[in-house]
Structure 1
Amino acid sequence: MTDVPKSVARLTTISTLRLNNNSLTTLPVELRTLQRLTELNLGNNALEEIPSVLKYLNSLKKLYLFGNHITRLPPEVLEGLHNLTLLNLNHNHISVLPPEIKSLSNLETLSLLDNQLEELPVEIGFLKKMVEINLTNNELGRLPKQIYSLSQLARLYLARNNLTELPEGVIGLMKLRVLDVAGNRLSMFPVDFQFLALNELLCEGNTFVKSKLMESVQAVEVLSLKELSARQILVEDRNRFSMVHLALSCHPGLGLLLADRGTCALCLQPFLTTWLECVRFINLRKADGICSFLLAAFRVQRAQLVALSTDRQTDRQTHRVGSGS
């Protein structure tokens, strides 16, 4: 089929419409009468853009658009699909997800395998019901930290991208069970990664740090007034009955600034922006079925320089980077 007949408008009671494996380039506006439609399959056609008529299908829950020639997602269409739970855009030419992706507030499965995505919008963090994201075989160079606010996420596929690191805050994905980061450029995993209850971790084809000690070189640093003040406030904030803790709720800007705090892996004291980055090597084979290699490198943050001799006694840690910013 190269066209959908306009008489489709008379099928007002159907819930599923499969038009996949045709040669469609557009859809008739008459399709808007299908207000009971919950599943629409337009896979393997010749669509160059998502038909605008879809914005009127407010009952749609599953939309398949794989195997077309789509390059962009029209914001006005996304804003009309607020009941969508599954969106499959595999094998297209999409390079950008618009901020309006946040309109898909009921989305549980998002698949963009084999596209040209270079980054994700921070608005991805609004999709609180997300269970599975597949971004395999794209051109992602980084992930927004907001992805870790998807507390229901169970499966995350990021294989064959250009990722050099995973952002901090991974511990927010407490329901994550499958993670595929194979074929990227990762050198280590982020802080607290080892506490994820993963059932499956695929990470071959990266350039992980080898288990070899290296001394760090860092000049003596005078802490700024901002850093000294922040550390004192963060210490006081630990006591939920303190005046500082109670006052922070009245200063949202300050709370946002302090949200990027870290915790020293050695002394357990909080800090803001001055830290020494180290690596801890952990044997992942202790968790059955997780990984096929013995040692994995995990980032460790420290608020101050520690003698290398101390590291030799603490789980084979390695200093990697000087001060952060």
Structure 2
Amino acid sequence: MANESVIRALKTKSNSLNLSSRKITHLPEVFAKLPWIAVLKLNNNYLSSLPSELMCLQKLTELNLGNNVLEEIPPVLKHLCCLNKLYLYGNKISHLSPEVLEGLPNLELLNLNHNRIKVIPAEIKKLCSLKSISVTDNHLQQIPAELGLMKSLTEINFTNNKLTQIPQQLYNLSQLRKLYLARNNLTELPEGLGWKNLKILDVAGNFLSVFPVGFQFLRLDELFFEGNCLVPFTLMESIQEKEVLALKELSARLILQENTNSFSVVSRALPMYPDLQDMLSHWGQCGLCSQPFLTTWLECVQFINTKKHMGMKSSQSVPVRVLLCSYDCFNRDDHQYYGLARL
């Protein structure tokens, strides 16, 4: 039956060949005579490897190998430089060959769902055109920082893995619109949110207790966070006496303020002291009065409304980490902060 379809493709020179669900265990060598094929569907078969003749398909842009018995990405794929979409879901793949990844510069979609993958190699960055990567229902324990170098990514789906953290570098993905991290083992999201275009975030079924500083400034359309260990919505009053700022902290605040003025003596002098400049680069900003400070004086939680503060259609209360510069700000009558985390 498969041979008949191949023969028909030879006669008609169709650019699409569908051999899905044919109980195929191996591909015939005649594929070397089909160089014009652009779309090839081999899903739902019993393929454990692909023949070298497949490298003749230099116009192939879409290849579906889903639901077969592959244990690795077939090496021959590294020769298909025009490949745009690659589906490898439902196989037995546990290892991603760096060599194959380096040979697919035009790949935009990679689907590796329902496999046995534990590690994504750093060479994933070689997929410089990749827009969508999906590795759901695998055994991933970490995400390579190199993923943050893939500026074209708009969608990432790592649902149902064993991730405990995500790298800070993912915030470099300014074009990212959809991020799915549900059902992992995440305990926190890194500080410094930079997803300006993110519209969908799914972190349901993890172990998050609070969202990072500045989370409320994201402009999401959808947020899923049920099934986490969020801090309780319980008001905690500060009973501490007003702190007296140390002289070095007062000096640091003055320097931080002066450094914003490019004409000031401080701003011109700091480049000559790289160690001091590095220390001052870790300054924080009070979540209430917006004043800069060097030492974290107060860390607390504020519950924000997703509809009011983030412009979402749904109204939910989300705990967001907030840094304050003093107890004066914490005890302001016009603001209520909850769940005091650290002094």
TM over 0.5: yes
TM-superposed CA distance for 1:314, in Å, is 4.3
Counterpart position of 2:84: 61
TM-superposed CA distance for 1:84, in Å, is 0.8
Counterpart position of 1:300: 322
2:234 to 212, 222, 231: 212
- Is it true that 1:135 corresponds to 2:155 in the alignment? no
Counterpart position of 1:107: 130
Checking the alignment, whether the CA contact within 8 Å between 1:198 and 1:290 is kept in structure 2 is: no
TM-score (norm 2): 0.82
- Is it true that 1:265 corresponds to 2:283 in the alignment? no
Checking the alignment, whether the CA contact within 8 Å between 2:284 and 2:296 is kept in structure 1 is: no
Checking the alignment, whether the CA contact within 8 Å between 1:183 and 1:203 is kept in structure 2 is: yes
2:216 to 194, 215, 218: 194
Deviates more, 1:26-35 or 1:125-134: 26-35
Checking the alignment, whether the CA contact within 8 Å between 2:101 and 2:126 is kept in structure 1 is: yes
1:184 to 177, 199, 206: 206
1:83 to 103, 106, 111: 106
Which amino acid counterpart does residue 164 of structure 2 have in structure 1? Answer: G
Q: How does 1:214-233 map to 2 (within 5 A)?
A: 214=236
Check 1:192–1:12 CA distance in 2 against 1; reply closer, same or farther (3 A cut).
Answer: same
Identity %: 54
TM-superposed CA distance for 1:320, in Å, is 3.0
| DSSP-derived class of the 1:36 partner | coil
Check 1:248–1:177 CA distance in 2 against 1; reply closer, same or farther (3 A cut).
Answer: farther
TM-superposed CA distance for 1:261, in Å, is 3.9
| DSSP-derived class of the 2:327 partner | coil
TM-superposed CA distance for 1:318, in Å, is 2.5
Matches of 1:255 and 1:111, distance apart in 2: 41
1:173 to 195, 198, 202: 195
Check 1:251–1:47 CA distance in 2 against 1; reply closer, same or farther (3 A cut).
Answer: farther
Checking the alignment, whether the CA contact within 8 Å between 1:277 and 1:319 is kept in structure 2 is: no
| DSSP-derived class of the 2:257 partner | helix
- Is it true that 1:47 corresponds to 2:70 in the alignment? yes
Which amino acid counterpart does residue 226 of structure 2 have in structure 1? Answer: E
- Please list every run of 5 or more consecutive structure 1 residues that lacks an aligned counterpart in the other structure: none
Checking the alignment, whether the CA contact within 8 Å between 1:214 and 1:320 is kept in structure 2 is: yes
TM-superposed CA distance for 1:20, in Å, is 0.7
Counterpart position of 2:340: 320
Matches of 1:251 and 1:48, distance apart in 2: 55
The CA deviation string for residues 281-311 of structure 1, in whole angstroms up to 9 with x for no partner, is 1223446755464x22110013x44159x43
Counterpart position of 1:153: 176
The CA deviation string for residues 138-189 of structure 1, in whole angstroms up to 9 with x for no partner, is 111111111111001111111111111111122x111111111111111111
1:10 to 16, 33, 58: 33
Deviates more, 1:206-215 or 1:19-28: 206-215
- Is it true that 1:279 corresponds to 2:301 in the alignment? yes
Q: CA RMSD in A?
A: 3.0
TM-superposed CA distance for 1:209, in Å, is 1.3
- Is it true that 1:311 corresponds to 2:315 in the alignment? no
Which amino acid counterpart does residue 341 of structure 2 have in structure 1? Answer: V
Matches of 2:88 and 2:178, distance apart in 1: 21
The CA deviation string for residues 240-271 of structure 1, in whole angstroms up to 9 with x for no partner, is 44566567778888777665543122342334
Count of residues paired in the alignment = 318
The CA deviation string for residues 219-259 of structure 1, in whole angstroms up to 9 with x for no partner, is 9899797x888756543442344566567778888777665
Q: How does 1:119-130 map to 2 (within 5 A)?
A: 119-130=142-153
| DSSP-derived class of the 1:300 partner | strand
Check 1:272–1:21 CA distance in 2 against 1; reply closer, same or farther (3 A cut).
Answer: farther
Checking the alignment, whether the CA contact within 8 Å between 2:231 and 2:339 is kept in structure 1 is: no
Which amino acid counterpart does residue 318 of structure 1 have in structure 2? Answer: Y
TM-superposed CA distance for 1:319, in Å, is 5.0
Checking the alignment, whether the CA contact within 8 Å between 1:216 and 1:319 is kept in structure 2 is: no
Matches of 2:79 and 2:175, distance apart in 1: 29
Matches of 1:38 and 1:270, distance apart in 2: 52
Checking the alignment, whether the CA contact within 8 Å between 2:182 and 2:206 is kept in structure 1 is: yes
Matches of 2:145 and 2:278, distance apart in 1: 16
Matches of 2:313 and 2:82, distance apart in 1: 40
| DSSP-derived class of the 1:102 partner | helix
